[in-house]
Structure 1
């Protein structure tokens, strides 16, 4: 975090939301960053210092991840999380931001602009999660059992833990160092996270249908990794077709973790997109 950044936790819509506010020059536009599944504000650590040169940056831990709340009383549906993020922007007096989301964070952004079509001037979607169906009935039922959070924890350990998952999301394996491992491991050290995760798995509804995507009018920039193994490029092509006011940029030799793997290129693409005058 830069020395001028403010880290704050606010109660919004019945849950505590942690965010980092990085102010730029007076009158600068604001970019709002929403991370993906099993991640935190850490995933934008390389992008934030670059964006700060030209924009205010609001980097949020989306519940139940990072330092945000993990209460089991909160409804972790896309729609309710989107409404909570909108309420946070209202609380902070942020008008006409640029919304940017990575992976599941992209689906939150799409839900926000579907709920409030004039909320954002533009949106940037990094390898956005799209077209997922809701969890099946068995998983939905299982997630309500008292020890489900332990099953989630066991599944994460069995899947190879943080290092194996990073190898899946990063194309250039040499980027995986101790800093990166520590940062992505951090959310898992809080056992309450697994309770929130169980609720999220239960509450998650299906992602926006094509007919809802067709109605989105906000200009959208889609940035995809050529070798994304989590949300493949085919999904990006489909999303580009369904979002009528969108453009798609594919980064070569890049995996799913676009802001981590290509921060300079991502910042340049975002800046060009943000500054471009729409007809």
Structure 2
């Protein structure tokens, strides 16, 4: 097939938004990938080669992660990040999407579906964050200290990238130099830690149960039974509260589903899309 790849940054909502686009020669379905906290489009590197055989694929680095901007004037709230992605999709001339979000990207995907139900045809949630409250007032207060960003840098670097990957992956043999380098690279400049400081202040709590129950969009939830970051019981609760959802659970699988089980994820996505078309 004659796939075409494009990538770059677009100024959207006052910030540079990095994206990768894989154009399918004939598919009418467009899938938008939203990564998780402390991640980037890199986390979908094993899933994109499968998805692009059946979909037009956009993979977005949401601010301040990956290659997107880290402006100290941008508001890093779920609402604003979701609105930025909505603006981008419309700028690209797309009026219908399937959206896939991993971890925090799942919460952003739910925000997009809540805000723009006519835009989102289907939602795929991979170990999505849910039911988290806003940061404590004490943490928000100390975030205004001039060098607080250095504390974030120390805290994130304390255990190291390899140990952090061990926490999110069930099968540690998957962790290699390429993976470690891919997740480390975006955090080698101080700008990211200053932006993360702003995210602590701006991030609202996750969507309430009342709001979740109004999302009628078909949702596929995929979870790792051994997820230590967003435990399975969160997914089961989310499945009960979303009116039109189903859940798939992978055994011996952790949090980083796009890296751990790309082929299985792809098969379930394809089945879900074809069932609900």
Q: Does 1:124 align with 2:124?
A: yes
**Which residue of structure 2 lines up, in the alignment, with residue 133 of structure 1?**
133
Query: Secondary structure of the equivalent of 2:276?
Result: coil
**Which residue of structure 1 lines up, in the alignment, with residue 163 of structure 2?**
164
- In 2, Cα distance between equivalents of 1:237 and 1:125: 12
Contact kept? 2:27, 2:55, Cα under 8 Å: no
Contact kept? 2:3, 2:24, Cα under 8 Å: no
Q: Deviations over 1:188-241 (max 9, x none)?
A: 112211111111111101100000000001000000001000000000000001
Query: Secondary structure of the equivalent of 1:98?
Result: strand
Query: Secondary structure of the equivalent of 1:121?
Result: strand
- In 1, Cα distance between equivalents of 2:235 and 2:39: 21
- In 2, Cα distance between equivalents of 1:157 and 1:27: 42
TM-score w.r.t. the length of structure 2 is: 0.97
- In 2, Cα distance between equivalents of 1:110 and 1:66: 21
| Map 1:16-165 → 2, pairs under 5 A | 16-158=16-158, 160-165=159-164
Contact kept? 1:24, 1:53, Cα under 8 Å: yes
Contact kept? 2:40, 2:61, Cα under 8 Å: yes
- In 1, Cα distance between equivalents of 2:270 and 2:95: 18
**Which residue of structure 1 lines up, in the alignment, with residue 223 of structure 2?**
224
Contact kept? 2:15, 2:71, Cα under 8 Å: yes
Q: Which stretches in structure 1 are left out of the alignment for 5+ residues?
A: none
Q: Deviations over 1:157-210 (max 9, x none)?
A: 22x021111000000000000010010111111221111111111110110000
> How far is 1:27 from its partner?
3.9
Query: Secondary structure of the equivalent of 1:71?
Result: coil
Contact kept? 2:27, 2:56, Cα under 8 Å: no
Cα root mean square deviation, aligned? 1.2
**Which residue of structure 1 lines up, in the alignment, with residue 4 of structure 2?**
4
- In 2, Cα distance between equivalents of 1:190 and 1:32: 27
- In 2, Cα distance between equivalents of 1:125 and 1:104: 10
- In 2, Cα distance between equivalents of 1:94 and 1:190: 34
Contact kept? 2:143, 2:201, Cα under 8 Å: yes
- In 2, Cα distance between equivalents of 1:277 and 1:208: 25
**Which residue of structure 1 lines up, in the alignment, with residue 193 of structure 2?**
194
Change (3 A) 1:3 1:193: farther
The count of aligned residue pairs is 276
Contact kept? 1:64, 1:197, Cα under 8 Å: yes
Range 181-190 or range 29-38, more displaced? 181-190
Contact kept? 2:5, 2:23, Cα under 8 Å: yes
Query: Secondary structure of the equivalent of 1:231?
Result: coil
TM-score w.r.t. the length of structure 1 is: 0.97
- In 1, Cα distance between equivalents of 2:189 and 2:68: 11
Range 248-257 or range 189-198, more displaced? 189-198
Q: Deviations over 1:246-265 (max 9, x none)?
A: 00000111000011100000
Q: Which stretches in structure 2 are left out of the alignment for 5+ residues?
A: none
